[in-house]
Amino acid sequence: MNFKDKKYIFPILALCLISISGCKNSNKDVKQITIGTTSQIEKAQRDEYAYDMLASGVSEMPLVSKNEKGEYSPLVASYSSNDSKTWTYSIKDNLYWSDGEKVTAEDIVYSLEYESTSENPAFSSKDIVGTYENYSYSDDKNSVTLTLTNANVKALDDMTTFRIRPKHIYENKTKEQITESDSRVTCGPYKLESFNKEAGALTFTINEYYPQKPHFDKVIYKLFNNEEIMYSSLLNEQLDFVWNYSMGVSSTYQNVLGNSNKVKLSSIAATNCPAMLVFNNKNGLLSDKNIRFAISYALDYEQFKEYFGSKYASTPNRSFAPTTLVGFKETEQLKTNYDKASEFMTKAGYTKDDKYWVKDGISAEFKLTVNASKEMHVGYAEFVKTQLEKFGIKVNLDTVDATTYNAKTSNKFASEQGSTVSMEAAIMGYTAFGMKNLGDMYINGNHQTQGGAQVFDDSLNEIINSLNNAKTLEEYINYAGQLQDFYAQETPAIALYWDSLIVAYSASLTDITLDSTFGINNINNWFSMKK
């Protein structure tokens, strides 16, 4: 693949103005906002991961909001704590579920219990939120005081993704007994009106029980199978903005969009890594740390930034922790060095023939698993293959559908499907809400819906446990540093580049509010944003 051609020529050809029926608002009396996304959903209900991503900030609200400056504010509940172990959450006044029932603190506790015991938590789990040893309600059940098992100095960050469920709907029902109608009972400013899978459309209408009326009567998601058509629709003013959870606009489209007077681009300091190469640290070729180090020196990070990044892109450190995380520590910056890469291959017992590194007559090669539904990830995988084969390591691309990808990379998913982890290496992106979940999810492969490096190391677990038990911010930062040192020394994964999150929206929109987690697609915009 000629990546330069893809970056600079392909978008110009691809972003032709394609007419898509049904995008324009035919009823001028209805104020609506139309959002383009490449997310694909099977069911419009809770515990469907892709749906939860789209519903977040529209109908399903996190407890707490965090803006692009890192400032917190209450959404569902106000909060207070004196020691980071005991937290009090108070439901905001006049907050009701979309069926008219009052939202109470009991819903918070029920949701915590549900997430910690559910076989398939969609977006929150005990790994993120933590566990508690006891709780107490106020007399009116409007407030709850939670005493956590361990102090959690990042509790508010945890609550920026934790969405409560209606206890009166879910309790005493099995997962199979929950209907699609039940799962649509929400406490956000909107509620789901319809989902048309064939047409690729989700429509949300105003929740009449929400205490504040949003500016728009409807929020409509258009689900695209193709990024080119989606961005063409934005240029053609058939969309108001585009949004994919944890992913900004790829560099492939930034120049064309940025040069249009119909579109605006904004940058958010990201807590995510758009591209990470993870290794199976337990089995196969990549269980050898020397091979992992060799690969880290054989990749060209400047080219990754050039072909895939924006003007804000930077080269990662070996810790692969984003600079925006609390507790970030400077470790060695990644760099291309064929001599160093060759040293580590030699250390692993390999010699170079005319083309490949060989040991005992067998060439060094591995299978790289990538989710076919994520166009950019496929591009990353092809780029890794090109660069490593130039160095002398053969890479076989394993391009699979999302379900297969999950089964091949995630310990939790694999075990529930009755299979085993079968990846040698994988391409993924991640959003890090803190150091602890970066380790718990993306390194040991225990994320429910996507995988990670297969690292099962007692010393790593000890650091993560200490991090989870940190009673002060100073302790947290100390153990966060130890965790990053482990990453740098063991190379369980490599961040290919860091970038700010670039969001794209119609130039006709005003009073935009950006959120550090959900970008432009957040609860605050439905009351401020106009067009």
Say if residue 277 is in the same domain as residue 246: no
259 and 400 housed in the same domain = no
CATH number of the domain that residue 436 is part of: 3.10.105.10
pLDDT in tens, the chain (531 residues): 444 444 433 444 444 444 444 444 445 566 999 999 998 888 888 878 788 889 988 999 889 888 777 788 899 999 999 888 899 999 998 999 999 999 999 999 998 888 766 544 333 334 444 567 788 999 999 999 988 877 777 788 778 888 899 999 998 887 778 887 887 899 999 999 999 999 999 999 999 999 999 999 999 999 998 889 999 999 999 999 999 887 788 777 888 998 999 999 998 876 667 888 999 888 889 999 999 999 999 999 999 988 888 777 889 999 888 887 778 899 999 999 999 999 999 999 999 999 999 999 999 999 999 999 888 899 999 999 999 999 999 999 999 988 888 888 877 666 666 667 788 999 988 766 667 666 666 777 666 556 677 787 888 888 888 887 777 778 888 999 999 999 999 999 999 988 888 899 999 999 998 887 788 998 889 999 998
Would you give the distance in Å from CA 194 to the centre of its chain?
Answer: 25
162 occurs within a structural domain: yes
Instruction: Give the 3-state secondary structure of residue 246.
Output: coil
Q: What CATH code is carried by the domain that includes residue 153?
A: 3.90.76.10
Query: Same domain for 80 and 50?
Result: no
Whether residues 453 and 360 fall in one domain: yes
CATH of the domain at 522: 3.40.190.10
Residues 261 and 286 in one domain: no
175 is a domain residue: no
What is the distance between the terminal CA atoms of the chain, rounded to a whole angstrom?
40
The verdict on residue 423 lying in a domain is yes
In the chain, the amino acid numbered 406 is N
State how far the Cα of 47 lies from the Cα of 402, in Å rounded to an integer. 16
- Are 429 and 448 part of one and the same domain? yes
Sheet with 77-81, strands from edge to edge, namely: 77-81, 86-91, 143-148, 132-137
Residue 260 lies in a domain: yes
434 and 464 in a common domain: yes
Q: Are residues 209 and 295 in the same domain?
A: no
Instruction: Quote the CA–CA distance of 359 and 74 in Å, as a whole number.
Output: 59
Structural domain containing residue 106: 64-170
Residue 180 lies in a domain: no
The CA R_g of the chain, rounded to the nearest whole Å, is 23
- 377 and 318, same structural domain? yes
Q: Are residues 71 and 51 in the same domain?
A: no
0.85 exceeded by pTM:
no
415, 443: one domain: yes
Are 370 and 516 in a shared domain? no
The domain tally of the chain equals 3
Residue 182 lies in a domain: no
